[in-house]
Amino acid sequence: MKQSIQRLSALLLALALTLSLTLSVSAAETTSVLEATAEKAASAVMSYGQAAQVSWAVWQDGKIISSGSQRPEIDSTGAHLEGQGDIYGIGSVSKIFTTVAVMQLVEQGKLDLDKPVVQYLPAFKMADSRYKDITVRMLLNHSSGLMGSSFGSALLLGDASQQATEELLARLSTQRLKADPGAYSVYCNDGFTLAQLVVEAVSETGFMDYLRKHVFEPAGLKETWSPASSFELRRAPIYQAGVVEDPLPKECLGVVGAGGLYATAEDLAAFGGALTDDTLLKASSRKAMAAPEYANGLWPQEDFPDSLGYGLGWDHVEWYPFAQNGITALVKGGDTGYYHAGLVVLPERKMAAAVLSTGGASTYNEMAASQLLIAALREQNVEVAEIRFKLPAAKKAALPAELLDSAGYYGSQTMLKVELAEDGTLTMSYLDLPDLPARKFYYHDDGTFRDEGGSSALRMVKESNGQTYLYQWTFTSLSGLGNLPGSNYAAVKLPENSVDPSIQAKWEEQMSGTAFLPMNERYSSQSYLLLGTALKELAEAEEATENAPGYIGNLRIDSETHASYTAQIPGTAGRDGYDVDLRRDDKGALWMECSNGTLGMDLAAVPELSTGKDNAAACTIQPNGYARWYKVGDKAAGKTLSVQVPKDAGFWAYDAAGNVVGSSLLWKDAPVELPEDGLIVFAGNPGAKFQLTFQ
């Protein structure tokens, strides 16, 4: 659930916003270096990431030494306009809790990190025999080879359903692996949901019950919760701008072990502190978690630091700038749709800092937490120098002829086209982000392509697996947050794939400009809330994006109906892949089925909503459980619809521009005035029956 660093790097030059803020700290009258740093770092998180609210805490030697929040301005009554709850979703920082649970069971002799997962989960099967080689360690260091995130009905609002976790084994049973187990570490949420299931199977205890008894209680955590817990009045509120003015229902992730926990900044910092001594784990287990697991597989062999370097659970075990100053620093970030978290732990110093926010990005929070720890150390006369890395001196040079073969299409989370000229100019275009201008780099005599300012560089690397990778180096400075180095494989060159031009044309015709509506998402899914934005972006797209020959986006075209994910990239650029199958039903409607379990139907196939006899009708969810979509035609447009919603079900309505105008989740039983050319969807369990009345 952690955001892609490659995507985030495009945001690092975002325009800073001018915000009116109030500061609430545990000792507001003090002017210590730590408190001043906290204020500045929190402001930077709100500025760069457009966070709406930020809370932080610093723990040392068993106690919180600083904590506070920054929120929007207060009104004339003294009330915070956005609410003042201090419990946040911590997203993927939940993975450290899962890792601790696994390591505790290892200490008890009930688990072996290097034994196959199937030994503990016999029901775990995949459509790829290599799954038998996946070990428990590989779940925790992201090297399992799993595709990534089977998140159908996982990201919910106001609904603590664990359907996504309960269905994971069934969804994995039809999937293949994208790489050999252990080949390289690439961010993988499903690995930690599997780890949660392993904990439950081995301990014979529900996951949350296990955490409460063996993690929360020993660590003294009083404000750490699952989405099903009751803490609504103390939750940091979340909003969807342009949809509804009131706060949204509680965000609930149905994959708790991968990213579903909630906590205060104080509790999260205290949890980090509990990992500096024997409170939760023995020294040997903590050392194992902090080992450089990323180095066991494919990884760039460069001297520059990166923002990722996986341990067991940890995103980085050599976190900048502490590692460069001889201090061990462990970091974990987390991002949900609305919450963002950063946890940094200095085990040898018995210190930890947590920064949580609504809005923003986890990387900013991690950098802010680092600044808090640097300030706290400075107050103890320990200096942590933020070393500014620079590229070695080099001169522009002519391009070696053999490098011309490195030109072509590169795949990752985004699609790149790399063009090379004999004079050494490299032009990089973002095919699926046509609004971004192409970037130019120039060849230098050390083998790098550098931008004109020397702030970033690229290199083509032929790896041991025979593939060519686009290595990128960056170094960005952000006022109030410090520096962010980057040194990673950003993309991999797509192998040539010859297909009949007519097949390529058919894929492009079917996929370009087609809106696939979610058919098997739970009624409370965030996908319904965000659908309007996606429809608008699709409608506003001025031109079809260019595809590599033989590919549709980053998928290799294998036949008229099947395309497969092929990118093998360590880090985050190769995360969350899936294969795609297209089919038409007996009515000619186009369907898209993804190997991660999601299912979509072409908007063009949606039938018109009937007002029934005497302005009364019913809609029943069929045995397949698929959502039922309708267009608002002339007969229904302008009428007011009242819906009697059955249990565990709901509806969403949209106008022609994609704006949400009705929702049982957001506005309960409020009637909806049906807009011309709008859409409405009913979702629920098979057999759920909606009674409709039109006026």
More confident residue, 121 or 2: 121
pLDDT value for 669: 87
Single-letter amino acid, residue 571: G
Question: Looking at the predicted structure, is the pLDDT value of residue 535 above 80?
Answer: no
DSSP line for 335-359: E-SSEEEEEEEEGGGTEEEEEEEES
Minimal CA–CA distance to 61: which of 270, 204, 239? Answer: 270
Q: How far are the Cα atoms of 462, 464, 469, 488, 525 from residue 301, in angstroms, in the given order?
A: 12, 12, 12, 9, 41
Q: Are the beta carbons of 201 and 294 closer than 8 angstroms?
A: no
pLDDT value for 545: 79
Query: Over pLDDT 70: what percentage of the chain?
Result: 92
Question: Looking at the predicted structure, is the pLDDT value of residue 4 above 80?
Answer: no
- Based on the number of CB atoms within 10 Å of its own CB, is 308 exposed (0-12), middle (13-18) or buried (19 or more)? buried
pLDDT value for 241: 84
pLDDT value for 406: 95
pTM: 0.93
What would the mean pLDDT of 148-153 be, rounded to a whole number?
A: 95
Query: Which structure tokens are listed for 454?
Result: 């020397």
Q: How far are the Cα atoms of 128, 244, 421, 625 from residue 452, in angstroms, in the given order?
A: 47, 44, 16, 55
Query: Which structure tokens are listed for 209?
Result: 């019950």
pLDDT digits (tens, 9 = 90+) for 269-319: 999 999 999 999 999 999 999 999 999 999 999 989 999 999 999 999 999
Question: Looking at the predicted structure, is the pLDDT value of residue 30 above 50?
Answer: no
Question: Looking at the predicted structure, is the pLDDT value of residue 600 above 60?
Answer: yes
347 secondary structure, DSSP code = G
> Which helix (H) or strand (E) segment is 218 a member of?
helix 217-219
The HSE-up count of residue 513 (CA atoms within 13 Å, CB side) is 10
Minimal CA–CA distance to 491: which of 564, 598, 417? Answer: 417
pLDDT value for 83: 45
Minimal CA–CA distance to 34: which of 359, 446, 369, 489? Answer: 369
End-to-end CA, the chain: 44
- List, in order, residues 6 or more apart from 275 with CB less than 8 Å away: 96, 100, 281, 286, 289, 330, 345, 347, 352
What would the mean pLDDT of 326-342 be, rounded to a whole number?
A: 98
610 secondary structure, DSSP code = P
pLDDT value for 686: 97
pLDDT value for 2: 54
Single-letter amino acid, residue 391: L
> Average model confidence (pLDDT) for the chain?
91
pLDDT digits (tens, 9 = 90+) for 449-505: 999 988 899 999 999 999 999 999 999 999 999 999 999 999 999 999 999 999 999
Length of the chain: 695
- Based on the number of CB atoms within 10 Å of its own CB, is 452 exposed (0-12), middle (13-18) or buried (19 or more)? exposed
Single-letter amino acid, residue 338: Y
Residue 444 φ then ψ, to 5°: -120, 165
pLDDT value for 85: 74
Distance CA 625, CA 306 (A): 45
Q: How far are the Cα atoms of 134, 172, 188 from residue 126, in angstroms, in the given order?
A: 11, 6, 16
Peptide bond into 549 cis (omega under 30): no
pLDDT value for 534: 76
214 secondary structure, DSSP code = I
213 secondary structure, DSSP code = I
